[in-house]
Structure 1
Amino acid sequence: MLLTERLMAGERVFSAWSSVPDSLNAEGLAATPFDAVCLDMQHGAHHEDSVMRCLGPIIASGKPGLVRVPVDRFDMAARALDFGAQAVIAPMVNSVADARAFAQSMKYPPVGKRSWGPHLAMGRSGFSGPQSAWLDEANRKTLAFAMIETREALDAVDEILAVAGIDGVFVGPSDFSIALTDGKAVDPSLESMMEAIAHISARAQAVGKHAGIYVVDPKLVQRYSAMGYRLFALGNEQNYMERGAAALLADAGALTS
């Protein structure tokens, strides 16, 4: 099932988060119980070539591939879709102008101005119909998530959500905590910002759009879920290795207090 279909059905989708630009690593992540894999170009080491190569094994596994592009790299958003990504997350979307530029790159006319050339995505998905059929469905099947992680974005969240072609919002809680404390703290679990996080999801739900969030503490998933969030990105490769190694060593009796 497509990512958009799962989210529209109200399912919770848990995505792995990849910073390592290696296709074997992406293949390994896609083989885990995660529902999807997101390739991070903003703070991770992924680049244009690694996104092209890593989406292949993710798509082959039958799972959605997502890409977080660098700040203001809306050209890369369109490239990620051409490589087969089902969703793109754009960081630091702080205004309606940012949201419009992002949406324009993500959607074909009449919604946006995306240029035609999804041949690699077609092949990877097994599509064999006429190009017109792909065009008819492409805007619905690809999702544009605008990141809300600053005071400016919070103030403009309704206007950002109202932009045609923006399918949802995605909260970056670490940057959000820095913004809301005026640079005094970085705390993705900051209690004083939970009301704002709930507000963002409520505004998305009010207009029938999606809400996603990066989760540092998995114990917060249930709380975020109650707020209406349905797309959750958990951890990263370093976190997975640390936890996995600790669990193996504990099972082996190799860890002492």
Structure 2
Amino acid sequence: MSGNLKDRMKKGDVLLGAWCMIPGALTAEILASSGFDWVLVDMQHGCMDYETALEMIRAIDLGGATPIVRVPWNEPGIIGRMLDAGAMGIVAPMIQTPDDAARLVEACLYPPVGRRSLGPIRVGVRDGAGYFAGANDRVMVIPMIETVEALESVEEIAAVPGIDALLVGPFDLSIALGLPPGDNDGKPAFDAAVARINRAAKDAGCATAVLSTGALAPVRAGQGFQLISTLTDAPAFTRTAHMELEKARAGLTKEKTDA
């Protein structure tokens, strides 16, 4: 069985991940095989459909990382399908209130804690008959905190039974705070929001997660984040493509100059 990530998170480990926007199992497998603790399939803003996401989860399993899925919305149908496909964590965007968070817990967990329907077809193939008995202890429930409304209710959201971590979306959170999209460290409103979210999670006994970069990972860990995404596939591919092209062009220009 895969899925010891939740236990490691509870022990206080810092767990590094990668974020998939590009549809396709090969990219997901490459990232999972690179040593990341977890790899997230982004069905909200990424370009994959359900069947592609299913194959990406299988590839992440093959690569040895824990598969997490950001669903398009806090909706039980897609949440249940992604869990049945093998996701060991669900990230839900635009959670605004404790009631939203409670509905997310209900969709992710089996009774008596939640209302998830039993039908682990693909995940049952992977994990066997024991999946059901341990699922509630292994599946991570992760609401996103990315709006002013969510920030104002973050203490109550964190305290909802069954919530495992709060994920900060720095781009949307920054926009909601009247800042440009991105990491706005040093801006008082952004710094205060990050501190409040981490404090609320700690007080409630849950963790925090964040979409970030390798360079910022030590800063984020120092702030209290435990699940830190250090790479997103599409911008990483774009940066590498530009860098290699510029190297080639610079080399060709130098060769012409030296000739």
TM-score if structure 1 supplies the norm length?
Answer: 0.88
What corresponds to 1:163 in structure 2?
A: 160
Alignment partner of 1:175 is 2:177: no
Paired with 1:219 and 1:159, the residues of 2 have a C-alpha distance of 32
Which amino acid is 1:203 matched to?
A: A
- Provide structure 1 residue ranges, at least 5 long, that are not aligned to the other structure: none
Alignment partner of 1:228 is 2:227: no
Identity of aligned residues (%): 34
The question of whether the paired residues in 2 share the 8 Å contact of 1:170 and 1:211 is answered with yes
Which amino acid is 1:225 matched to?
A: A
Give 3-state SS (helix, strand or coil) of 1:66's partner.
Answer: strand
Corresponding residue pairs, total: 249
What corresponds to 1:110 in structure 2?
A: 112
Give 3-state SS (helix, strand or coil) of 1:88's partner.
Answer: strand
What corresponds to 1:238 in structure 2?
A: 234
The question of whether the paired residues in 1 share the 8 Å contact of 2:23 and 2:52 is answered with yes
What corresponds to 1:98 in structure 2?
A: 100
- Return the index of the structure with the highest Cα Rg: 2
How has the CA–CA distance of structure 1 residues 20 and 255 changed in structure 2, closer, same or farther, with 3 Å as cutoff?
farther
What corresponds to 1:189 in structure 2?
A: 184
What corresponds to 1:140 in structure 2?
A: 137
The question of whether the paired residues in 1 share the 8 Å contact of 2:17 and 2:231 is answered with no
Two-structure CA RMSD over aligned residues (Å): 2.2
Alignment partner of 1:205 is 2:202: yes
What corresponds to 2:125 in structure 1?
A: 123
What corresponds to 2:257 in structure 1?
A: none
What corresponds to 1:53 in structure 2?
A: 55
Alignment partner of 1:219 is 2:215: yes
The question of whether the paired residues in 2 share the 8 Å contact of 1:149 and 1:176 is answered with yes
Paired with 2:253 and 2:220, the residues of 1 have a C-alpha distance of 34
Paired with 2:253 and 2:69, the residues of 1 have a C-alpha distance of 40
Which amino acid is 2:86 matched to?
A: G
TM-score if structure 2 supplies the norm length?
Answer: 0.88
Which amino acid is 2:50 matched to?
A: E
Which amino acid is 1:241 matched to?
A: F
Give 3-state SS (helix, strand or coil) of 1:113's partner.
Answer: coil
